[in-house]
Structure 1
């Protein structure tokens, strides 16, 4: 029997429920989150929701008076609202024991099934459970305490089959544009959409994201362009990358409408090939340039010159080839979710099959070498990573592949990208030389590809990504000295990079001109004791600009270590730095030279320059002989399992933790006392293994090979030394 008092209380509760909807201004519309509406109410009953046409209009029986803590609804069809998710919030004190958690989950599931919702979310703000109320599981069967119905549910699982426990976060502000959602709400929205797409009444396991490897596509397009145009392979690569970016940005929804790949593809049904190419050049391409504006150096992420000339006009003679290229990309499909491996092997793939290896090789370090060196460096600890001679940017971008911690620093926060780590790369050339400019353009395009997963999740933040890319890579054209001119870039020690990873250019011809320019610019004292060759000047710049206590890993030719004229430079290294390692790389490691090279690892001493000589190194130097880098060293560069560089990397990472206590039985590794570097005239570490030791390692002694320029330089050095000796003898 219902008393007057009971009826009055019931009417009062219904009034409160109605007032909550009214007071929050949610009687007509919930908080908009893209295509959903969110109702974060605690005192509103299902009956009141039904009356306001927020949930389906049906008899909820005993559940009419139940009050969900929140519901997410799709009301695209106002006459048939659809509940997407039911939220159950608990105080942490009410969500501690297994029994408490189970009861809360069952309570949420009851409402989910009554409302025909697809997702149940149960949380105390610390721990979160996601359930699928439509997928029965015998392990989760129970009897509904309200109606006595037999119910069941399944936990939603990640692709690793572990329970999904990602925190729920929905900021209460109307947003129909995903780019305007705050970061946490955007992630929650995406997760809900993913669950809706991937779960059903027979499955509660989220799919592993399928990765796309466009290498076969890129290779096919490159071959078609190369065969059709007979242009140099490097220029062909620029165009492969440009069309790749066009398709990629279209797939992400960054390029829309008339600017998109799909629109261009449909044009072929009504227009001829030349008209379509004109549309690409004047509309699509211009939009890419507008979205990703050029930096202060005038370079952006695209600059192919086969389909479009340097003035931006279409090359109509290539309209048929352009159509063939577009159709290949269309046939391949979606370019989202790019495979991690593709990012690192894009340039290497073309380099291996190109007859023009010397041209591309001059600014390309093999990926195996890049990866090994980057994994030796403490990229996670670095605040400022610099490659002063960056080429296509491998040393600055590889850290994104090996360190998720570093990549997380570039995740947008509130639609801004302000990472606490700085990346900086320089490349040099003439302002009027488009070929030289394209190296930095490739680096910028490469960075966009490396950050593709972040771009995919934040497709409207093109200005932010453009800013990061332009702030990272710089084309220096105001002086023939390039990076060597940048002597005042870092005025204070705190402004300097604490990690430099680089492969500077090794040339002997033309160095005289560079040294004359240095003299004319008043930089002679700055580059004093820089030895011979371009690499000596580069190494001097590195030592000068490395932050105190900062580390550098530099790929250098053997001339730094075995030429008498470079002794002054070796003395500079000892004076200003601690020598951490010298790793011998095999001849022919690089595509364009048989030159013997080494990896030098140093740490800048923490002292003023005039006091550095007093700080003595008190630990040994890690040295290692590498014969294999994980690929053949011939023209084909086939993958092989043998990789001494990988072993060297692993041992060095152990060594640097406690240099004076490190021990190993690897015969390729020796710890050399620092005194050896004081007493030995040359630092060719290979000679510090006996002939017998090398034979056991399968290393054969080879005669030293000089290029013509190197031979001339060596003869010049010998003559200079004889002249000095004659002067001494004449004075006796």
Structure 2
């Protein structure tokens, strides 16, 4: 009779015992076949003579070999079939009481122990119980595994390996499967990524969702049957079955057009309703071919499924895998660079989240990424900040978030990846049978918002208004063709939330990243902070409009240079800018933390080998956090960071930071640019030169307009306007022997170089030097280098300092001559005089210079015109510096 059952179920059809494929195992679904008969049929086991266990509810059989388990699961090793688990199924009315459960469990334990299996499974079709056979026998009582998931191949694999809670990194799997998909379809890397994620989601859901939500017919494992057998059973290939049956079912579980119930999500953008328009899958590359039928891809499809199966269950996923995964695919895509989609490496995401100090946020706070991509800034914080690890909870079929993390994107495919990423990050919730699918759908709808009603503007169409606590973002970088965005703003007129976009984005500057900065400054609530990755070119542009708009609303807290090749698919130099929304226009501006990160904790080549000991960015982030906590000495003594007065970051200044390091300091830092490809160098340089050319044309018109008005010529020696004097002689030895905090300026090529820091009382008392710009005379001075190779250099000094006797000081009497304009005019006069090293510019010669001061129609000095000219000249000088930098880089860059 036993062989009859095995034959009826075709387990002996090949001449030897072969079960139905069950993941990595073989299953015998029987019930009338004894263990003795299974052994005779080919199961490799030694049947126990007796089961030593104090059974309480189950009356054990006299002979263990007589047990007839309902299901037996076998592992084939070197041709032998070894039992690994048994299963007992009871009717819904047979396990209602604790005693009935105990009886079923003891029956399962008896059969498993008799055949030598490690796991005994018992179920009434609704609840599943997994018994640890070895531990139960040793303790003399039933001991269950903690896993409560519905039974499947993935659960069995986890139980046997004991790795359900062990993180796995599927990045090597992604690398292998990318090759299979690409060779079969020749599709774009991003499409290959979507395909990988789609199959990943199927496997992940099959390993974690209950059977009532994802029935057996729609699971991953059924597709692994022998291709011939599968076609005989279903009439189509596995890939066709997946496309026609499983895909639609997955989409029905995670439907399009889910409404976000949390009103705070919609109100953030001034919208009454937010609708999640996509499912979690929609990117199957095998559907896109016009030359190969779907069935023709079946072999490649099965290869991919088998690779997933070989990898093992997808239960607990290494949190670092996701960004590695996206980089695996997207670093190969040239198209991504043109789109400006530079996905942020985890080693940059981590310190930015750390700097944001999310643990200090109150309940209901909003953290926003308006260019969220795959969601790193939105999904990572609970993994990195212990205080918000339990930020998301579930109850009564809904998800609840203490802090509202919201990510917005315009690209539907990227949005799908972000939603799939959400499921992966909440793997425990997916596994938990008490958490509903509708709650998970709500979580995804409220975490990621697709704004593509205007596909050009995306999230820019609906800017929030002073409601966001923290922004963490890496907006796209596009300057070429950026006029399209300005045209679209004009065409769109008003956003869906009623914002007049033409007024809102007026004078926001060149490039879509400049529009995002305007969006960010308006979105923050007073005191809110933004941590934004921007290209170096944005900081170097001389157009004052964008910076003026930012400074009207925000303080600049930090400007941090990232190393070249920080991002996989661009060598473009980038910065992290930190902004803080001002409470009032009268708020004092804090010092700016300037940093040069040479390293980010991993190599900057394609391999990305971890190098945790080399992580300047992490060190700078720590300094920022300490500074935010009130430690004004946070950057003291650091070679890679400096606190710089906010006056150096006006609308007319460059906002990059290397200008605050001397050449010697930069050499000591080993600041040597990484090699760049010749194509990247050409693209970067062409963009840079085009920007410089455009800005020079604007500067030309501005300078012509500003300098065409009436002026009055006055002499620097005219004591009714000026007081000219020399500085104080102080030697380097005296400074070294009397250290302090007072900077001493001398004849140097750059404005920030100092001869040293001396004790102020020593300088004033023993040397008889005058400390400039003290509280009783805070106006500032103009200095002229009188000697050395930098003769003729003119600077404005507003900080408390000492000046050496190699420098001439010009003080202004009265309030109607602007210091910055005087510096511009005096520099022009010195240059006209042709003063060189041989023609020293001591006090007498400085007094002999003349300057032209703009005047009004009534003959009084025009201070506003002076300030406008000074600002225009500063921008012109910045353009010259920028052009010089291009030349230097062209000469020194290492191209490959």
Distance verdict in 2 for CA 1:533–1:134, change over 3 Å:
same
Match of 2:308 in 1: 329
Q: Does the residue aligned with 1:449 lie in a helix, a strand or coil?
A: helix
Match of 2:616 in 1: 644
Q: Is this contact kept in 2: 1:498–1:551, CA < 8 A?
A: yes
- The separation in 1 between residues aligned to 2:651 and 2:581, in whole angstroms, is 21
Q: Deviations over 1:465-516 (max 9, x none)?
A: 12211222222222222222103x55xx4xx221100111221222222212
Specify which of 248, 252, 256 is matched with residue 286 of structure 1. Answer: 248
Report whether the alignment pairs 1:666 with 2:638: yes
- The separation in 2 between residues aligned to 1:340 and 1:305, in whole angstroms, is 24
Q: Displacement of 1:592 after TM fit?
A: 3.1
- Stretches of structure 1 lacking an aligned partner (at least 5 in a row): 1-52, 59-71, 85-131, 137-151, 159-165, 167-176, 180-192, 199-205, 429-435, 607-611
Q: Is this contact kept in 2: 1:363–1:390, CA < 8 A?
A: no
Match of 1:15 in 2: none
Q: Displacement of 1:82 after TM fit?
A: 9.5
Q: Deviations over 1:633-679 (max 9, x none)?
A: 34444433422111112222222111435353221111112233249
Report whether the alignment pairs 1:511 with 2:467: no
Q: Deviations over 1:43-92 (max 9, x none)?
A: xxxxxxxxxx996899xxxxxxxxxxxxx9351476998999xxxxxxxx
- The separation in 2 between residues aligned to 1:361 and 1:392, in whole angstroms, is 14
Match of 1:426 in 2: 408
Match of 1:527 in 2: 505
- The separation in 2 between residues aligned to 1:513 and 1:133, in whole angstroms, is 70
Give the stretch that moved more between structures: 546-555 or 399-408: 399-408
- The separation in 1 between residues aligned to 2:277 and 2:395, in whole angstroms, is 28
- The separation in 2 between residues aligned to 1:454 and 1:709, in whole angstroms, is 47
Q: Is this contact kept in 2: 1:358–1:591, CA < 8 A?
A: no
Match of 1:66 in 2: none
- The separation in 1 between residues aligned to 2:220 and 2:280, in whole angstroms, is 17
Q: Displacement of 1:331 after TM fit?
A: 2.4
Report whether the alignment pairs 1:483 with 2:459: yes
Report whether the alignment pairs 1:448 with 2:423: yes
Distance verdict in 2 for CA 1:635–1:217, change over 3 Å:
closer
Match of 1:108 in 2: none
Q: How does 1:545-584 map to 2 (within 5 A)?
A: 545-565=523-543, 567-584=544-561
Q: Deviations over 1:434-470 (max 9, x none)?
A: xx42111111112221222322234752221122112
Q: How does 1:213-612 map to 2 (within 5 A)?
A: 213-254=169-210, 255-266=214-225, 268=227, 270-272=229-231, 274-295=236-257, 296=275, 298-309=277-288, 315-352=294-331, 358=337, 362-382=341-361, 383-428=365-410, 436-458=411-433, 461-479=436-454, 480-487=456-463, 489-490=464-465, 493=466, 496-520=467-491, 521=493, 522-565=500-543, 567-606=544-583, 612=584
Q: Displacement of 1:236 after TM fit?
A: 0.9
- The separation in 2 between residues aligned to 1:208 and 1:334, in whole angstroms, is 8
- The separation in 1 between residues aligned to 2:219 and 2:535, in whole angstroms, is 47
- The separation in 2 between residues aligned to 1:587 and 1:550, in whole angstroms, is 29
Report whether the alignment pairs 1:698 with 2:660: no
Q: Does the residue aligned with 1:294 lie in a helix, a strand or coil?
A: coil
Q: Does the residue aligned with 1:601 lie in a helix, a strand or coil?
A: strand
- The separation in 1 between residues aligned to 2:175 and 2:108, in whole angstroms, is 48
Q: Deviations over 1:512-566 (max 9, x none)?
A: 222122223152221234222221111011000112211110011123322111x
- The separation in 2 between residues aligned to 1:133 and 1:233, in whole angstroms, is 50
- The separation in 1 between residues aligned to 2:487 and 2:336, in whole angstroms, is 31
- The separation in 2 between residues aligned to 1:571 and 1:317, in whole angstroms, is 60
Q: Displacement of 1:353 after TM fit?
A: 5.6
Q: Is this contact kept in 1: 2:342–2:570, CA < 8 A?
A: no
- The separation in 2 between residues aligned to 1:79 and 1:251, in whole angstroms, is 25
Q: Is this contact kept in 1: 2:623–2:634, CA < 8 A?
A: no
- The separation in 2 between residues aligned to 1:530 and 1:659, in whole angstroms, is 34
Q: Does the residue aligned with 1:75 lie in a helix, a strand or coil?
A: helix
Match of 2:13 in 1: none
Q: Does the residue aligned with 2:400 lie in a helix, a strand or coil?
A: coil
Specify which of 692, 707, 713 is matched with residue 714 of structure 1. Answer: 692
Match of 1:183 in 2: none
- The separation in 2 between residues aligned to 1:571 and 1:726, in whole angstroms, is 22
Q: Displacement of 1:309 after TM fit?
A: 5.0
Number of aligned pairs? 548
- The separation in 2 between residues aligned to 1:227 and 1:630, in whole angstroms, is 34
- The separation in 2 between residues aligned to 1:376 and 1:385, in whole angstroms, is 13
Match of 1:42 in 2: none
Match of 1:621 in 2: 592
Q: Is this contact kept in 2: 1:73–1:81, CA < 8 A?
A: no
Q: Is this contact kept in 2: 1:306–1:315, CA < 8 A?
A: no
Match of 1:23 in 2: none
Q: Displacement of 1:686 after TM fit?
A: 1.0
Distance verdict in 2 for CA 1:80–1:264, change over 3 Å:
closer
TM-score when normalising by structure 2: 0.56
Q: Does the residue aligned with 2:557 lie in a helix, a strand or coil?
A: strand
Q: Does the residue aligned with 1:448 lie in a helix, a strand or coil?
A: helix
Q: Does the residue aligned with 2:401 lie in a helix, a strand or coil?
A: coil
Q: Is this contact kept in 1: 2:57–2:99, CA < 8 A?
A: no
Q: Does the residue aligned with 2:468 lie in a helix, a strand or coil?
A: coil
- The separation in 1 between residues aligned to 2:136 and 2:586, in whole angstroms, is 72
Q: Displacement of 1:615 after TM fit?
A: 1.5
- The separation in 1 between residues aligned to 2:398 and 2:458, in whole angstroms, is 31
Q: Displacement of 1:583 after TM fit?
A: 0.8
